[in-house]
Amino acid sequence: MSEAKNVGVLALQGDFREHKQMLERLGARVREVRLPGHLEGLGGLVVPGGESTTIGKLAAEYGLDAAVRAAYRAGNLAVWGTCAGAIWMAREILDYRQPHLGIMDIAVRRNAFGRQVDSFEADLEVEGLDAPFRAVFIRAPEIVRVGEGVRVRARYQGRVVFAEQDRLWATAFHPELTGDDRLHREFLERLVAS
Ligand SMILES: NC(=O)CC[C@H](N)C(=O)O
């Protein structure tokens, strides 16, 4: 990468440190975002996995949901939600009422891959990548509906686990937990330099 990109990780709850480390290894300047003011000057924001109800409540309490929505609509923020982060981004969450960002035209079902298997790994064919991506699923959601402007980039057993809409990404899996940094690299490369 020729120039450092300014990117944030939402650091309210969940495994934001793993994302931060991976982004820093790729040469990005990474800021932990806990308050609306921390969004200033960022080209992208990664929302980690964790517990989507907790993330949603804390984000609402600190005014971060409104601030992220505004920054996205102003046209200068890319947002990537992973697992709980993807749930937070979804317009619709099946069966639950919880505060969320709701900017991405998808519907998700939490904990969609069965109670008996809390976590598993799988090699996914991801559109745009030339070799399979080892994906870690931990009590993962499924993307059950995608709107018209949404591109499906990966499925697992026919179910959507990676969706892209404009500057928004939602992955049901955890791309920060293996050494494979191809998606973090692509996310950074696409950001407008700031
Ligand atoms: N690994 C994760 O982020 C799990 C998400 C969690 N099951 C939720 O619904 O919030």
Confidence of residue 1 (pLDDT cuts 50, 70, 90): very low
How far apart are alpha carbons 180 and 72 in whole angstroms? Answer: 27
Instruction: Note the pLDDT tens digit of each residue in 12-64.
Output: 999 999 999 999 999 999 999 999 999 999 999 999 999 999 999 999 999 99
Instruction: Note the pLDDT tens digit of each residue in 95-116.
Output: 999 999 999 999 999 999 976 5
Q: Is 55 a domain residue?
A: yes
How far apart are alpha carbons 110 and 177 in whole angstroms? Answer: 20
Q: Is 68 a domain residue?
A: yes
Q: Is 175 a domain residue?
A: yes
Taking a C-beta distance cutoff of 8 angstroms, is the pair 10, 59 a contact? yes
Longest dimension (CA), the chain: 46
> Is 115 annotated to bind ligand?
no
Is any ligand 1 atom within 6 A of the Cβ of residue 13?
Answer: no
Rg (CA), the chain: 15
Identify whether 184 is a catalytic site residue.
Answer: no
Residues 6+ apart with CB under 8 A from 126: 132, 133, 153, 154, 162, 183
Span from the CA of 82 to the centroid of ligand 1 (angstroms): 9
Question: Which of ligand 1's atoms lies nearest the C-alpha of 85?
Answer: 3
Q: Is 180 a domain residue?
A: yes
pLDDT greater than 80 at residue 194: no
> Is 110 annotated to bind ligand?
yes
Span from the CA of 138 to the centroid of ligand 1 (angstroms): 7
Instruction: Note the pLDDT tens digit of each residue in 63-89.
Output: 999 999 999 999 879 999 999 999 999
Scored b (16 or more CB within 10 A) or e, 135-156 reads: bbbbbbbbbebbeeebeebbbb
Q: Is 1 a domain residue?
A: no
Write the DSSP symbol of residue 84.
H
Span from the CA of 53 to the centroid of ligand 1 (angstroms): 9
- Containing 8, the helix (H) or strand (E) segment is strand 6-10
Range of the domain at 28: 6-190
Is the CA virtual torsion 156, 134, 181, 20 positive or negative? positive
CATH number of the domain to which 103 belongs: 3.40.50.880
Identify whether 176 is a catalytic site residue.
Answer: yes
Residue 70: predicted pLDDT: 97
Q: Is 110 a domain residue?
A: yes
Is any ligand 1 atom within 6 A of the Cβ of residue 18?
Answer: no
Instruction: Note the pLDDT tens digit of each residue in 117-175.
Output: 689 999 999 999 999 999 999 999 999 999 999 999 999 999 999 999 999 999 999 99
Q: In total, how many domains does the chain have?
A: 1
Taking a C-beta distance cutoff of 8 angstroms, is the pair 169, 163 a contact? yes
Catalytic option among 19, 38, 100, 174: 174
Q: Is 43 a domain residue?
A: yes
> Is 147 annotated to bind ligand?
no
ipTM of this complex prediction, to 2 decimal places:
0.95
How far apart are alpha carbons 15 and 81 in whole angstroms? Answer: 12
Question: Which of ligand 1's atoms lies nearest the C-alpha of 15?
Answer: 3
